[in-house]
Chain A
Amino acid sequence: MDPVTTINEALAALDALLNIINAIRGQGGMTDDQIVAAAQSQILANQTQIVALLGALPPKA
């Protein structure tokens, strides 16, 4: 493979990684404890939703 192409691909991959890291760091002005509370709330909501979805499915044949 052309070395320039390889380097460009590597740099593009690093850019993508940086974007992900920045997204993780971008906490929307929430404090750490607010993030924890939001995560706990969402996890509980997910459990309720999954139980409801499974309950709505027809029983296995």
Chain B
Amino acid sequence: MKKVLALLLFVSLTGCTDPYGVAAKLAQDVAVSVNQADVTIDQFRVDGTVTNDEERTILGYLGSLNTLDGNYLACVQDAHASPTKVGGFTACAQSLASAMGNPATLAALHVSNPASQAKVTAVVQGITTLVETTITALGGK
């Protein structure tokens, strides 16, 4: 456990040594998560646990999230192209976190079936955790 604490302290104090790779990996992870969520939500609709309107709303959110992810990736590439700019990668990730956490948008992700709602919530929380963890791992770089 001391190793864990030491690593976390190291990460928080120095940031990671490959911020471009870590920042880019987040874009890939979010994209894969969106892809899996698309498939899952459509299957819920086929199974009858999500209505057509609910799927339309959730796919709209996932589409927006996918667009935000594309914008984030472009931001990361800009930061990589400007290595002297301090905090560029972290700023990209913070912008993504802010945009995807819009309360009004999240409130619209309501599904009447409890099991399907739990799955939707888990996906959104999982992506949010990915973003927040990456911001921590970047350590301000």
Contact = CB atoms under 8 A, between A and B. Distances in A.
Interface of A: 11, 14-15, 17-18, 20-21, 24-25, 27, 32, 35-36, 38-40, 42-43, 45-47, 49-50, 53-54, 57-58, 60
Contacts of A36: 24, 27, 73, 76-77
B133 interface: yes
A54 B66 contact: no
B66 A47 contact: yes
Contacts, number: 106
Interface residues of B, number: 46
Interface in B10-30: 11, 16, 18, 20-22, 24-29
B59 A50 contact: yes
